[in-house]
Structure 1
Amino acid sequence: MLFVKQVQSKRAWRLFLRRSITTGYKIVDHTFDAVVVGAGGAGLRAAMGLAEGGMKTAVVTKLFPTRSHTVAAQGGINAALGNMNPDDWRWHFYDTVKGSDWLGDQDAIHYMTREAPRAVIELENYGMPFSRTESGKIYQRAFGGQSNDFGRGGQAHRTCCVADRTGHSLLHTLYGASLQYSCQYFVEYFALDLLMDQERCIGVIAMNLEDGSIHRFRALNTVLATGGYGRTYFSCTSAHTCTGDGTAMVSRAGLCNSDMEFVQFHPTGIYGAGCLITEGSRGSVIFSSI
């Protein structure tokens, strides 16, 4: 008899919870062709491309776009423009594969290095104020790991930069350019989970950090651009917002994460402090004496 009462009380408690959750929280529904989670450099460019293609696009971000972690990048963007010395995207490809100890996805590296010059010119057309040579070309710096002629031709100058604030300039440029498209921004909305229908993703569910309301974003296409998870470690150069939200959402949905062991601990980071000096120091000759 006691067991029956316990079972009944558990059922009543579950029913109470179910009713209280569904009636106590108003769920606001949204429907889009595409939803992008994250508004850093990758998220903004993805949203622009989707909106330009005619898709009704939403951007869900827990930060205002210009506060995303892309803003912290200092050094620059590698592209084989050849403004300072003869260069070739195939040399860039070689350096990148070699720099990854041959563990990188070579198809992805091939595409990235081949398309990098076009991407830099696109950013220039958006208004990104690259540093310039005296002749007006985009200035390119020498960074570590860059070479000419498949490692046989000495140091290459391949990094396009905006002084030492490249990420800051990139993010503000992309955000300004994105405003010409009909993207709808949901700022300070924390993505909680993917909406799954069997094995198919049909959107995301997020919480409005201002009032705690729950929002359900239904979409035919879902793009996760939530950044890394460096803050799971004691010492790193990632912002405190880099907590792997998207990675966790994917895991909870039963989907696969790939190459999770590859976490960047920046070679010019300062241990313990977690702050970063410019990557340009890797390409500079530094003399010290005691």
Structure 2
Amino acid sequence: MQVNQRKFDVVIVGAGGSGMRCALQLARDGLDVAVLSKVFPTRSHTVAAQGGISASLGNMSEDSWYWHMFDTVKGSDYLGDQDAIEFMCREAPSAVYELEHMGMPFDRNPDGTIYQRPFGGHTANLGEKPVQRACAAADRTGHALLHTL
């Protein structure tokens, strides 16, 4: 019996949101990528995500990546890698705009900007008051994300 062999620069195990986004970036960088999954991508756990993607766009009121970082570090009970959290919070707006340009159907404000909904733990001015930071596609953000990717 002959077994076909394939060679890839990278093999990604898991076709949820993280796996699909990683594969997209690596392919853009010119690498030959394989994505392995035991289920169809839209059956991954990402599809269960409803609340939205946190990003300090400031479309509803003033917001800051620094406040986003404060909330995330506090939400991790100060156990999260703070360098990684800082990077994530600084880059979140760019990631959301990239998804928007790829066709992600985010909810919109009347002026066309991305609507941001309130979500637990999102605060302004280092915990002083709530802020709307979650960018969502109705109640199917994860599903829309997978279809976009």
Equivalent pairs: percent with the same residue? Answer: 61
The one of 64, 68, 71 equivalent to 2:44 is: 68
Answering whether residue 145 of structure 2 is matched by residue 170 of structure 1, we say yes
Q: Please give the secondary structure, in 1, of the residue aligned with 2:121.
A: coil
Letter paired with 1:167: G
1:201 aligns with none
CA deviation after TM superposition for structure 1 residue 144, in Å: 0.9
TM-score by length of 1: 0.50
CA distance in 1, matches of 2:29, 2:107: 31
Q: Please give the secondary structure, in 2, of the residue aligned with 1:85.
A: coil
CA shift in 2, pair 1:133/1:60, >3 Å: same
Runs (4+) of structure 1 moved beyond 2 Å? 25-29
CA deviation after TM superposition for structure 1 residue 60, in Å: 1.2
Answering whether residue 100 of structure 2 is matched by residue 98 of structure 1, we say no
CA distance in 2, matches of 1:70, 1:113: 20
Pairs within 5 Å for 1:111-150: 111-150=87-126
The one of 111, 133, 138 equivalent to 1:158 is: 133
Pairs within 5 Å for 1:3-18: none
1:255 aligns with none
For residues 160-179 of structure 1, the C-alpha deviation after alignment (integer angstroms, 9 at most, x for no partner) is 001111111011111xxxxx
Aligned pairs, how many?
Answer: 149
Q: Please give the secondary structure, in 2, of the residue aligned with 1:58.
A: strand
1:110 aligns with 86
Letter paired with 1:171: L
The one of 12, 20, 28 equivalent to 1:44 is: 20
Letter paired with 1:169: A
Q: Please give the secondary structure, in 2, of the residue aligned with 1:118.
A: helix
1:270 aligns with none
Structure in which a larger fraction of residues adopt helix: 2
CA deviation after TM superposition for structure 1 residue 34, in Å: 1.2
2:65 aligns with 89
1:33 aligns with 9
1:55 aligns with 31
Answering whether residue 53 of structure 2 is matched by residue 77 of structure 1, we say yes
CA deviation after TM superposition for structure 1 residue 66, in Å: 2.0
| Runs of 5+ unmatched residues, structure 2 | none
CA deviation after TM superposition for structure 1 residue 27, in Å: 4.7
RMSD after superposition: 1.3
